[in-house]
Copies of this chain bind each other. A is one copy, B any other.
Amino acid sequence: MKKFHKALSAQEIIAITGGSWLGANDVTLDNVCEAIEANPSSVVFCEQERLISQIAESPAGLIITNSQFSERLGARPQLIVDTPYFSFMRLVSYWLSLEQKMQNWSIHPTAIVDPSARFEGEVSIGAYCVIGANVSLGKGVIISESCSVQANTSIGAESVLHPRVCIYPDSVIGKKCILHSGVVIGADGFGYLLLDGIQQKIPQVGNVVIRDDVEIGANSTIDRATLGSTEIGKGTKIDNLVQIGHNCVVGEHSILCAQVGLAGSTIVGDYVYLAGQVGAAGHISIGSKAMVGAQSGIAASIPEGGKYFGTPAIDANSMKRIIVAQKYLPELLRDYQKRLKEDSHD
């Protein structure tokens, strides 16, 4: 259950979601939850057949649903809309935005901020943060406790760093980005040259550039470029424990699921979908709108809109046919070996 500081009335809710109200409208609502946790101040939603009776029996104060389910939900206040889940989530987002307006803009006295750091308006910096020389923070940036933002890094307006994010020097973070706990931006790319029996470190003197509206999941890592920049395009969303190698360039509005790994210099287009645990070789490109199935190993470039699967990844339909055929492989082999034997007896 998520309880909000400010309760909302029926009128306030309709103003956000639209739709038509059924039943008593003198309710006051202050939380959202699943039916099983509901109390008379809860808003729940109903658009799945299998949950109707559970919701009908719950004490929830308001059910957001559609005309199809309404009748079976009993005499409770209902808000009838076309897309209940979507309207519910719009309401939750509104409620969360009210909470954010209550943000206390302050720099904790234990935060160590280099005197050369610049803030373009109100910012919040949590306890035990270390903010380096020439760092620039846009208006409304929120940095939670125990973050490191190293020298010459800039963070755009309204971006949020959760606790224990580490940003190495010279990084550029856009506006309205969300970096979850444990994210590491700008660690050295992984480059060595074997010389005289020693893995000589290739200096990594590029940086990382992350555009606006990017979200990066907990403990993910994005390495700095050897030269130039590792880039993440506007609106791209990255899940937990993802690795982006040096000099990768990821396009806009793409989705990289958990534990994906991109080797160095991989180019990823816009609206690409990489499912969980996908790996991509370096120095290849993955075309815009490509979709790649979970655990695939991308060994060569993928054209725009390609649907790929497998290791090495090939056209997903071809791979599915191979997977189906594989089940008959032991039988095929027995047949072949039988024929061989017969031939040798002829």
Interface residues of A, Cβ cutoff 8 Å to B: 2, 32-34, 36-37, 86, 89, 92-93, 96, 110, 112, 126-128, 130, 144-146, 148, 150, 162-164, 166, 168, 170, 178, 180-182, 184, 187-188, 190, 192-194, 197-199, 201-203, 205-206, 213, 215, 217-219, 221, 223, 227-228, 235-237, 239-241, 243, 245, 253, 255, 257-259, 261, 263, 271, 276-277, 279, 281, 294-295, 297, 299, 311-312, 314, 318, 321-333, 335-336
**B190 near A162 (CB under 8 angstroms)?**
no
CB distance from A188 to the nearest CB of B (A): 7
Partner pick for A221 among B36, B37, B240, B263, CB 8 A cutoff: B240
Nearest B residue to A150, CB-CB: B163
- Bound-complex Cα distance A199 to B212 (A): 12
**B146 near A168 (CB under 8 angstroms)?**
no
**A277 near B253 (CB under 8 angstroms)?**
no
| Copy total for this chain | 3
Partner pick for A203 among B92, B213, B322, CB 8 A cutoff: B92
**A198 near B164 (CB under 8 angstroms)?**
no
Partner pick for A279 among B228, B294, B325, B335, CB 8 A cutoff: B294
Q: Which 6 A-B pairs have the closest CB atoms?
A: A2-B205, A184-B218, A166-B181, A148-B163, A187-B218, A34-B228
CB distance from A85 to the nearest CB of B (A): 9
11 A-B contacts, Cβ less than 8 Å apart?
A: A2-B205, A93-B203, A112-B127, A130-B145, A162-B168, A166-B218, A181-B184, A243-B258, A245-B258, A258-B263, A276-B279
**A240 near B190 (CB under 8 angstroms)?**
yes
Chain B residues with CB below 8 A from A329, complex form: 322, 325-326, 329
**A243 near B240 (CB under 8 angstroms)?**
yes
Partner pick for A180 among B181, B184, B297, B333, CB 8 A cutoff: B184
Nearest B residue to A332, CB-CB: B336
Given A34-B228, A148-B163, A277-B277, 11 more A-B residue pairs with CB atoms under 8 Å apart are A146-B146, A162-B187, A188-B215, A197-B253, A199-B255, A218-B223, A243-B259, A258-B261, A277-B279, A321-B330, A328-B336
- Bound-complex Cα distance A183 to B46 (A): 34
Chain B residues with CB below 8 A from A192, complex form: 237, 255
Partner pick for A33 among B93, B228, B312, CB 8 A cutoff: B228
- The verdict on A148 contacting B148 (CB below 8 Å), with A182-B219, A187-B240 known, is no
Interface centre among A89, A166, A217 (most CB of B within 10 A): A166
- Bound-complex Cα distance A184 to B239 (A): 13
- Bound-complex Cα distance A314 to B330 (A): 15
CB distance from A229 to the nearest CB of B (A): 9
Chain B residues with CB below 8 A from A271, complex form: 194
Interface centre among A178, A311, A312 (most CB of B within 10 A): A311
**B312 near A323 (CB under 8 angstroms)?**
yes
